Structure 1
Amino acid sequence: MGRHEILDYFEHRRDGAWVCTKPFTLTTRRESIPIRPGMRFAYGMRVGGLDLAEYLEQLGSQFGS
């Protein structure tokens, strides 16, 4: 999966949170984490050492999502 394709698995909410819409496995340098629909990620919440909301926001800015 390309870096920006992760955006296809999330919806960005007005409150700034990102909510998973399709299941996938997030693989970081530390571990693999199953991400399930309905899981919410806000700034400061780290998953496998990654601030997932911040990462998604950066990708959205780069790839227009």
Structure 2
Amino acid sequence: MAAHDILGFFEHRTDGAWICVKPFTLNTRSSRIDIRRGMRFEYGRRVGGLDLAEYLEQLGSQFGS
């Protein structure tokens, strides 16, 4: 999966949060995490050593969200 493909698993809300819309497994350098539908990610919440909301925001600005 290309890095920007992760955007298809999330919806970006007007309050800045990212909500998972379909489950997947996130593989980072340090861990493997099951992300379930409905999980909410906001800035500062780290998952597997990654601020997922910040990462998604960066990808969204590069590839559109």
Unaligned runs of 5+ in 2: none
TM-score, length basis structure 1: 0.98
- Which residue in 2 is equivalent to 1:9? 9
Q: Give the percent of matched residue pairs that are identical in Structure 1 and Structure 2.
A: 75
Match of 2:59 in 1: 59
Counting matched residue pairs gives 65
Structure-2-length-normalised TM-score: 0.98
Letter in 1 for 2:63: F
Cα distance, 1:64 vs. partner? 1.4
**CA shift digits 1:3-39 (9 cap, x unpaired):** 0000000000011000000000000011100000000
Counterpart of 1:58 in 2: which secondary structure? helix
Aligned letter for 1:3? A
| 1:29 paired residue number | 29
Residue 3 of structure 2 aligns with an amino acid whose one-letter code is: R
RMSD of aligned alpha carbons: 0.4
